[in-house]
Amino acid sequence: MYIGDWMERGERYYPESLAVVDVAKGEAGRFTYRQMNARANRLAGFLREEVGIVPGDRIGVLAMNGVEFLDALFACGKLGAVLVPFNWRSHPREIAALLEKTAPKVLIFSDDFRVGLREIATQPACASIPCWLHLEGPGLAGSRQYTQTVQSRPATPIENEAVREEDLLCLLFTGGTTGLPKAACISYRMVAWNTLNTVIHELARGDVTLTHTPMFHTGALFVHTLPLLTLGGTVVLMRRWTADDMLALIEREKVTALFCVPTQFQMMMQSPRFASANLKSIRFFTSGGAPLPVPIIHAYRRQHGVVFKQGFGMTEFGPGIFSLSPEFAESKAGSIGKPNYFIDARIIAADGGDSRTPLPVGEVGELILRGPAMCSGYFQNPEATAAAVDADGWFHTGDLARRDEDGFYYIADRKKDMFISGGENVYPAEIEKVLYSHPAVAMAAVIGVRDEKWGEVGRAFIVCKPGETVTEDAVLALCRDHLAKYKVPKSVVFLDALPLSAAGKILKRELKAQYGEGAANN
């Protein structure tokens, strides 16, 4: 087999190199490539011989980060099965609906979610799952214990020559604001081209990364984890993220590169460990998910001499789509950089523009993408696939962006985040950039709320740094100094914390649900 069997290749090329560190398991959680291949073979053998898994069957996982998650990924690669990781932050009823939609033949789960699964276990979507594997704890009635059942088996090599580039490796759910999330179809071809893009722009043999975002996210599986395990590097798995633990692990495991969203870099700066942490092993940090405020760049460089790369990606494409090198971090602040090596990008009119007619430099429009690192559409959802990919093969992202005269791209906002005030388009990301420039501001977000006079106006949400304060008047004065009048928020809400997703992104939909009504009509 020449595609899909990462750990067979890993054992062949780097047998005794350290592949994975499962932090929660202590010293027992350090695995070489040879050991990882054995683990994947044991699970693949169990799935084929005792469950009857064949290519195309789905293997569900509802678990915290751990080596077993990678066992499942690599076993699916050996068999041609499809990994389906479920978002453990979902309500049990939503998980039941996604189980019904994807129909896995196996569900691997950790004890953290036993209670929620028991709640839905009698529903048809769950009752029809032939095999349940629990990772620890008492499990559920009829479930089998993973270590005793699977990892005690012989590590007989498992192969499947039928696996091909366009076959699916996994389904990853994308966060929708209404209805069930869509499942992006991730093929071996997509993973291979993303790995090549990542190696060209980011990684080197011997790098060590720290995977902390939940592994139901593309950011956890495919930003650095799988590309680095293709190169022979080391992946350190965090079960749960905290700023203190991350700083300690960077030092202990001599991490060289890792990905975070800006809010996490902010939280690390606020940790008591930040000033004394040893970050000398870091070659660079990668930031994505939102624009990285320049004060963060300054703070890390001043305190630790660490530089930042920035980028942009999404579940359905890449996820490595754009990169911004450290030398442009300030001169092109707010930019996501230029398209990666095997990515084409264009800006077209946002109101149904033709992909063959790009907008001039500087104009805001919809970002569209084309290239071999695109997903294979949405699982059992041809309507959504047709809406996202046009006849010329361009993927329509739903992101509003512009390109400057030097070829650097900037995300203006999501189409759904943009609001219209007095007939003018307002992009919250532009306002948030100004808010982050205030020295007392730790986190900021802006949403549009209804207004009788202007249709919609901005409402800002601020979390202050520990020991710092700022008034609403000062915040609005700062905005008036930097923004057109129609862009200045009409109100400011101060919070102790902003709602964050499992990936550390600010959940604006929760802000809208709680604070989105009743804006002052002035």
CATH number for the region 241-414 comes to 3.40.50.12780
The CA–CA distances, whole Å, from 116 to 104, 356, 366 equal 17, 49, 40
- Residues with Cβ < 8 Å from 288, sequence gap 6 or more? 219, 223, 259, 261, 310, 311, 312, 313, 336
Where residue 519 falls among pLDDT bands split at 50, 70, 90? very low
Tell the burial category of 520 from Cβ atoms under 10 Å away from its Cβ (0-12, 13-18, 19+): exposed
What is the homologous superfamily of the domain 419-515 according to CATH? ANL, C-terminal domain (3.30.300.30)
Asked if the domains 6-187 and 241-414 are classified in one and the same CATH topology, the answer is yes
319 cis-preceded (ω within 30 degrees of 0): yes
Element (H, E) at 9: helix 6-13
The yes-or-no verdict on residue 178 having pLDDT over 50 is no
**pLDDT tens-place string over residues 301-329:** 999 999 999 989 999 999 999 999 999 98
* For range 452-476, the mean pLDDT: 91
Q: How far is it, in rounded angstroms, from Cα 89 to Cα 71?
A: 22
Instruction: For residues 209 and 40, give the distance between their C-alpha atoms in angstroms, rounded to a whole number.
Output: 21
According to the model, what pLDDT value does residue 352 have?
77
User: Side by side, which strands form the sheet with 455-464?
Assistant: 441-451, 455-464, 491-494
Q: What is the pLDDT of residues 88-125, one digit of tens each?
A: 877 788 899 899 999 999 999 999 999 999 988 888 88
Structure tokens at 408: 């650097």
Per-residue pLDDT at 227 exceeds 70: yes
CA distance 335 to 137: 46
Distance CA 35, CA 20 (A): 10
pLDDT at residue 425, rounded to an integer? 67
SS3 content of the chain, % helix, strand, coil (to 5): 35, 25, 40
pLDDT at 239: 94
Residue 502: the pLDDT is: 64
Give the pLDDT mean for 173-184: 70
User: What average pLDDT does range 165-170 have in this prediction?
Assistant: 96
Range list of β-strands (E), 148-256: 168-174, 182-187, 208-211, 234-237
CA-based angle 266:270:275, to the nearest 5? 110
Average pLDDT taken over every residue of the chain: 91
Looking at residue 423, its pLDDT comes to 60
pLDDT of residue 414: 67
Q: Shortest CA distance to 517 belongs to which of 473, 457, 463?
A: 457
Third-level CATH fold of 6-187: Rossmann fold (3.40.50)
Residue 184's pLDDT is what? 96
Q: Which residues contact 333 (CB under 8 A, 6 or more apart)?
A: 291, 292, 294, 297
Rounded to the nearest angstrom, the gap between the alpha carbon of residue 184 and the centroid of all alpha carbons in its chain is 13
Nearest to 326 by CA among 311, 308, 341, 339: 308
Please name the amino acid found at residue 111. Answer: D
Q: What's the distance, Cα to Cα, between the start and end of the chain in Å?
A: 67
Residue 522 binned pLDDT confidence (cut-offs 50, 70, 90): very low
pLDDT in tens, 22-58: 999 999 999 999 999 999 999 999 999 999 999 999 9
Domain limits, the chain? 6-187, 241-414, 419-515
Least confident of 64-78, 181-195, 284-298: 284-298
Angle formed by the axes of helices 294-304 and 262-269, nearest 10°: 50
pLDDT at 361 over 80: yes
Evaluate whether 4 touches 44 at the Cβ level (below 8 Å). no
- Look at residues 415, 413, 427, 438 and name the one whose alpha carbon lies nearest to residue 494: 438
- Mutual orientation of helices 6-13 and 67-79 as an angle, nearest 10°? 100
Q: What is the pLDDT of residue 179?
A: 54
* Own/partner long-range contacts of 467-472 (Cβ < 8 Å, ≥24 apart): 468/439, 468/440, 468/442, 469/440, 470/438, 470/440, 470/441
Across residues 197-224, what is the average pLDDT? 93
Residue found under tokens 């965090």:
238
pLDDT at residue 213 above 60?
A: yes
pLDDT of residue 176: 45
Distance (Å) of CA 220 to CA 96, 199, 489? 23, 16, 35
Residue range 372-424, pLDDT digits in tens: 999 999 999 999 999 999 999 999 998 889 999 999 999 886 667 778 786 66
Asked if 132 and 105 count as a contact pair (C-beta separation under 8 A), the reply is: no
| Least confident residue range of 141-150, 187-196, 258-267, 275-284 | 258-267
What is the C-alpha radius of gyration for the chain, rounded to an integer number of angstroms?
23
Rounding to the nearest 10 degrees, give the CA dihedral for residues 443, 448, 452, 455.
150
